[in-house]
Structure 1
Amino acid sequence: MEHAKQLPDWADEQKLVSAVNFNQKRGTYLGVLYGFASGMMSTVIPKEARAVYYSKGGADMKDRITKTAKLGYDIGSLNAYQPDGEMVVTCVKTRLAHAAVRHLLPQSPHWVNSAPEDIPISQADIMVTWHSLPTTVMRNLTKWKVPIAADESEGFLHSWQLAAHLLGVEDQYIPSSWNEADSQAKQVLDPILAPTPEGIKLADILLSLGMNLDLTLLSRPILGALTRFMLGNDIANWLHIPTEPVWTPLLETAWGPYVIVREGGLDLGVPEEAYWLFDEFLRQFVLFYMSELRMPINISIPVINNPNHP
């Protein structure tokens, strides 16, 4: 356990400071990207979708997606990897939870009958999930033309390199640059994305997360349109997400100019209503998670599989 808590000798304090700057500037986007782009992508990673659906985490998807977003926020917090920070403990607890799932899932006849592998959550599986987080975030920020300083980009990557190391991934498998991360994702993430019955059900749950809240912009059609916009038509179609007649074209035409205006660029004539809608959507999304994001992350070691699928 003590060995698992040690930072590698390549940990760079200055890069971690840059990661904090990145998170502070991009926090509004990151909530949506971690919580939703990565969360929805996990439903089309077949091994992950099956592992989540049949393990205890599948019984409470809001809790799981909140923890994913919380992990992203904690990674960029001021003292994340300091002795008084959250990240080292979070990573070690996550490793213990993974170990428990490796022990428990092979006892589930549902998982055994649907999964091709004998033991879940291999090192390769962890790196696939890793790419669904920072690599996917950076791909979207690049696509949206969000300006990012070189040192902050490097710092953001470094914070996730440390997370991979602390999650037990061997250093040789951890990308050393964003180009390498993108290249690796093209080999290990993009080609394996596919629908599964379990993933389709998980996506359906995620799209309904805002249903009982007085947050009108977290409705199912809008979250569906956001999924289509961020992850593409193929994934949206796999997950049976219909094309939304208002929000899909609005995102496609106005999101790019909105980001430019928001980043202090020239006003490219974004309709005031569209600007307000996007701003309000991001605000509501952050508000939805923030009450729980302020709490210390609570990663418990599971002792059972999903009670709905024993």
Structure 2
Amino acid sequence: MEYLRPSPAVLRSEGDPLADQVVVELLDSGEMAHANQVLHGLRHNDQLVPEDLPAVLRAYLTGTRPVPDWVDAERIARVHAFFRHDGVHVASALSLGAMVGCYAAPMGAKLLHTTHRLDHPHRRLSETTQFLLHMMAPDPLGPHGDLIPAIQKVRLIHAAVRQLLIRDGHWDVAEHGVPICQEDLLGATLIFSVTVLDGMERMGIHCSPQEAEDYYYTWRVVGVLLGLRPDAAPDTLAEARQVWREMEPHHLGPSAEGVALTEALLELYHHIAPPGVRGAVPAVIRRMVGRQVADWMEVPASRWEHAVAGAAHLEERVNRAEEHHVLARRVLDQVGRILLKAEVRRVTHGQSTEFDIPDALCPADPPKLPAPRRTG
């Protein structure tokens, strides 16, 4: 059956009605701060929904907790084995390539800048890392996982930002469509799945067709749980790649906000990367996202690109040889897990990241941005 998604006009005009209704009531009643305080203690899938929450929020948390019948838990569980093997590469492709890919979406970059997420790249990276770890756990949607509360909170964060931008007059719906609309949710789902897999391939990391399909499927499920319309999410990785090819020319492009966000991310990595490899970070980003996106975001080119290209070719040869050596694979699995845990501790400072639902936008005016430089 051919995948037929809703038209772009429809997707741009719709947010997330369920979460929007909850946030509207919380904002109107002034209960958002209290709700955040109670939600901080909600971390596990099997945890009882706190009693001292506004009725509308309790109903939302209870109603969105059950996993839909169509979700294949076995496929999601298989992704954990893939992540055990290639977790470092997945995390790198997501935190480098996919993050910059999101900044290359002008509407998304404008939204992040307007809400002052630009000022906190470390927090945004730690949130992304924390969410990924929840997703890639052995049974993320099962009773012992932590993913469902994280999804519920992020969905409310999207709704709060959506409502606050409209209420405060910072967003022209007639010109730009609804902020964090269905098209944005679809684009983000594809960036975090399709482009991560593509970025890994560019770095010489090849996963099996089943691993790639399961990885995309997991993001498809998460996208729907985050409020994406089920009929907007492609069923297969092949369909998702086709949809992204169609969306990319209209969804991505240069913007001053995207350049500033990327610059802030590069500055963050300059501080957390070991001194000997700091120069390689922009080169890895350029290889993962491709020359055009990298130039739009003004990711600096350097001689490191030749070294990164050579490392990617070497990694590809090692990756292929590894499939034929069980012992080598086990050793690399262990090394990968150690490296990933070390990097997570470095990014999160060893602390669990809280997903706070905003009840107001930052009162200060957003910083002025320079016009993006022309690139060749």
TM-score, normalised via structure 2 length: 0.71
1:62 Cα deviation from its structure 2 partner: 1.1
Q: What is aligned with 2:243?
A: 184
Q: What is aligned with 1:18?
A: 78
Task: Say yes or no: does 1:195 pair with 2:254.
Answer: yes
Q: Distance in 2 between matches of 1:307 and 1:209?
A: 25
Amino acid at match of 1:289: V
Report Cα offsets for 1:157-187 as digits up to 9, x if no partner: 2221210111111211112111011001111
- Tell me whether 290-299 or 179-188 shows the greater mean CA deviation: 290-299
Amino acid at match of 1:259: E
Aligned-pair Cα RMSD in Å: 2.7
> For the pair shown, which has the larger CA radius of gyration, 1 or 2?
2
Q: Distance in 2 between matches of 1:127 and 1:182?
A: 12
| C-alpha spacing 1:181/1:293, structure 2 compared with 1 (3 Å) | farther
Amino acid at match of 1:119: V
Structure 1, unpaired ranges of 5+: 267-279
Q: Aligned runs of 1:71-150 on 2, under 5 Å?
A: 71-108=131-168, 111-112=170-171, 116-150=175-209
Report Cα offsets for 1:256-304 as digits up to 9, x if no partner: 22232155359xxxxxxxxxxxxx9x98786343342864341110122
| C-alpha spacing 1:197/1:222, structure 2 compared with 1 (3 Å) | same
Q: What is aligned with 1:250?
A: 307
Q: Distance in 2 between matches of 1:100 and 1:65?
A: 20
Task: Say yes or no: does 1:233 pair with 2:288.
Answer: no
Q: Sequence identity, in percent?
A: 20
1:3 Cα deviation from its structure 2 partner: 2.1
* Contact 1:22-1:153 at 8 Å conserved across structures: no
| C-alpha spacing 1:231/1:308, structure 2 compared with 1 (3 Å) | farther
1:242 Cα deviation from its structure 2 partner: 2.6
1:56 Cα deviation from its structure 2 partner: 4.4
* Contact 1:49-1:198 at 8 Å conserved across structures: yes
Amino acid at match of 2:271: N
Report Cα offsets for 1:238-263 as digits up to 9, x if no partner: 22233202x11112233122232155
Q: What is aligned with 2:274?
A: 215
1:210 Cα deviation from its structure 2 partner: 2.9
Q: Distance in 1 between matches of 2:257 and 2:172?
A: 13
Q: Distance in 2 between matches of 1:94 and 1:176?
A: 23
Q: What is aligned with 1:289?
A: 344
Q: Distance in 2 between matches of 1:115 and 1:79?
A: 42
1:22 Cα deviation from its structure 2 partner: 1.0
Q: How many pairs are equivalent?
A: 293
Q: Distance in 2 between matches of 1:132 and 1:169?
A: 14
Q: What is aligned with 1:47?
A: 107
Q: Distance in 2 between matches of 1:213 and 1:160?
A: 28
Amino acid at match of 1:6: P
- Tell me whether 19-28 or 231-240 shows the greater mean CA deviation: 231-240
1:137 Cα deviation from its structure 2 partner: 1.1
Amino acid at match of 1:240: E
1:80 Cα deviation from its structure 2 partner: 0.8
Report Cα offsets for 1:174-231 as digits up to 9, x if no partner: 1211101100111123432111111111111001003334721452x32221221111
Q: Distance in 2 between matches of 1:218 and 1:67?
A: 24
TM-score, normalised via structure 1 length: 0.85
Amino acid at match of 1:105: L
Task: Say yes or no: does 1:3 pair with 2:58.
Answer: no
1:95 Cα deviation from its structure 2 partner: 0.9
| C-alpha spacing 1:285/1:76, structure 2 compared with 1 (3 Å) | closer
- Tell me whether 191-200 or 153-162 shows the greater mean CA deviation: 153-162
Q: Distance in 2 between matches of 1:239 and 1:115?
A: 27
Amino acid at match of 2:70: W
